[in-house]
Structure 1
């Protein structure tokens, strides 16, 4: 079945997972158009794989712009897509508000994570903007369950994991990876995380960043108090305008852990950093699958919080360990359990790597997307409903 899909992205710089999906769709012969806010970042890469790029900054903040609304409606009319596929909450709300709830083209919101669903008012507002042509693909089971619990019919929401671009992690890691002040301390127990630093969203009541850097710092302090000579490795710099908050987190790490806190800043050698760790920790307060898929793929013992999509792949007793979110003591307990049984932890991590490499592939994601697209095109009035 030939089809034309219009993808919507709020970022040209990020969203590598969206690019990987579009690349697979193009390999299958799908005509893909993508809306980006600028010509920077991935724009040339999209064109290099044969996708048609349209530059138009769309987001919830742009709904007030008459010019942007007219340009988007004109773009949809001119491209005449079979499906409109949105990747972000902001682009989804823009699309729905500008085109209206009754627009006939089937629309898919591939939900990148459950954060906006974890606040009842925001969850309800997002669902209330949907019309008869709107559908959802959650990227983890928890996201799907949020929609089902809110009353969205089963036929309107499905599960579609983001497949990993595992080629970037293949090959032997560099044993000479630069770990800053940790270089030369081969006997040190290295507990680390790889994540950008995001500042707290005060309007959501957050007091610490969503990735939980401070929680890991506190957990490492507890482990030191229990007699473990652990060092914290924090790879990932500030995201966007978070430079001030990144500085605050780094200062907090130094205050609590002294010279055992190592902040490496933004790095591209993710494979090498993960391979250098004794335990990879993902202490997020909200997340989809996050970096847990990467650390498991590489066979690194993995501890994550029991939020979002982490339980889909970090399965206690099978592939890794889960800790309570926003709970440094629980995090310390699970890290300590790994340190006490390192052989078992490695075996579980290898099992997790097998799970990830088998199930979280771009090809698998593409299969789900194509099947979903085809079903919507066959029945443009699939499961009509009147909203909530």
Structure 2
């Protein structure tokens, strides 16, 4: 297939750790690479945010990245990009008129908007992955939600116009059905994890003198719930908490980092909390493997890559029972889901795990097994391919089936 992927604010080539650079960048890059490995021609369309960027570039993993002019060629917060989506759509239309893809897969709601505007007149099949829904964000963030006021209305129109919607977790399916989207037009395809990079460390003998370590990772924004993790630490003695996240390695001037340090002082744990700033994707496995438990305590999380990466490293997870965590973390098997979002409940779950090395080891082994069985990028690409291929017109499907007879490609149309 000739697949166009649209990711208006999250380039697969961007450095991670910024305020709008995270899981979507990783997802788009890894999925594009995995689809190329399966023999597809993949182009990722993203907004030009620098004058230094070429018009298009081929990534090391074989997919093409096309930088589409839309608004000033400079970084712009994703919530401020809506006025430029008309220009972005016009750029997509120009590209697709000259070089038509078989199908378009949009990531995030504004990508979905531009995709529908460009692909609709050209009758190109479209799929959208929202990654986060405005109605959920508004519910949890209230007045702190900086999304455009029209977001929820536009999302509903996008979902109804798309040929198919890919949800990343079961919780999102429920929300989409409430929005009036027929269940038959929704498939669940989660995010994946790089199993070559994130894998368990060799078993080492325990150091009885080492104090416990909790690791929490994410952007330094209030919804990630690091304040809850710090408050819980007050009831977990002889244990340190490492918080990794931010736009730079030095977060001394970051407003959220300052707030978290004040909370640590107020709870009497300032000497046991370390904010280490941005950690490179290459260094992240070592940080996760250094933990006894990886702690994930957001107020909500549309999917969340951190538990998956920890699980792939064989580290048990304690997570609040929200969003995508309800699918990825199997309570009592790969970690613990905390249903009461209080410091006492989080601290109790952590203490029980830290006190039971055998349980931690068992959870870690089960976590690694689950990551390999369900969340490899190869599997995610297979599941995505099935959805995309199911939307192709019959002549195109037949063409791909003929190619499969030569052994170059899997031409089966499996139901999702």
Q: Same fold (TM over 0.5)?
A: yes
Whether the 8 Å CA contact 2:86–2:114 is kept in 1: the answer is no
State the TM-score, normalized to the length of structure 1: 0.81
Q: Does 1:151 align with 2:204?
A: no
* Alignment partners' CA distance in 1, 2:392 and 2:266: 58
Aligned to 2:94: 74
| Aligned-pair CA distance for 1:36 | 2.1
Q: Choose which of 143, 157, 167 in structure 1 pairs with 2:196.
A: 167
Change (3 A) 1:188 1:46: farther
Aligned to 1:247: 258
Per-residue displacement from partner, 1:35-57 (whole Å, max 9, x unpaired)? 12237899988433332322115
| Aligned-pair CA distance for 1:20 | 1.0
Q: Does 1:277 align with 2:325?
A: no
Aligned to 2:30: 20
Q: Choose which of 145, 155, 178 in structure 2 pairs with 1:126.
A: 155
SS at match of 2:10: coil
Change (3 A) 1:239 1:342: same
State the TM-score, normalized to the length of structure 2: 0.76
Aligned to 2:144: none
* Alignment partners' CA distance in 2, 1:49 and 1:42: 18
SS at match of 1:167: coil
Q: Choose which of 270, 275, 280 in structure 2 pairs with 1:258.
A: 270
Whether the 8 Å CA contact 1:283–1:325 is kept in 2: the answer is no
Q: Gaps (5+ residues) in structure 2?
A: 15-20, 71-77, 140-149, 396-416
Change (3 A) 1:281 1:379: farther
* Alignment partners' CA distance in 2, 1:194 and 1:66: 35
Per-residue displacement from partner, 1:131-182 (whole Å, max 9, x unpaired)? 444321011111122212333112211011122111112374799xxxxxxx
Aligned to 1:219: 232
Whether the 8 Å CA contact 1:194–1:270 is kept in 2: the answer is no
Aligned to 2:10: 11
Change (3 A) 1:115 1:172: farther
SS at match of 1:7: strand
* Alignment partners' CA distance in 2, 1:146 and 1:28: 32
Aligned to 2:361: 346
Aligned to 2:125: 106
Change (3 A) 1:322 1:62: closer
Aligned to 1:32: 42
Q: RMSD value over aligned CA atoms?
A: 3.2
Change (3 A) 1:361 1:42: farther
Change (3 A) 1:275 1:131: closer
* Alignment partners' CA distance in 1, 2:247 and 2:104: 32
* Alignment partners' CA distance in 2, 1:100 and 1:131: 14
SS at match of 2:196: helix
Q: Choose which of 228, 241, 245 in structure 2 pairs with 1:236.
A: 245
Change (3 A) 1:45 1:145: farther
- More displaced 10-residue stretch of structure 1: 71-80 or 13-22: 71-80
SS at match of 1:355: helix
Aligned to 2:308: 293
- More displaced 10-residue stretch of structure 1: 45-54 or 144-153: 45-54
Whether the 8 Å CA contact 2:160–2:181 is kept in 1: the answer is no
Q: Choose which of 115, 124, 137 in structure 2 pairs with 1:95.
A: 115
* Alignment partners' CA distance in 1, 2:346 and 2:174: 25
Whether the 8 Å CA contact 1:108–1:135 is kept in 2: the answer is yes
Q: Gaps (5+ residues) in structure 1?
A: 176-183, 199-208, 381-388
* Alignment partners' CA distance in 2, 1:52 and 1:112: 22
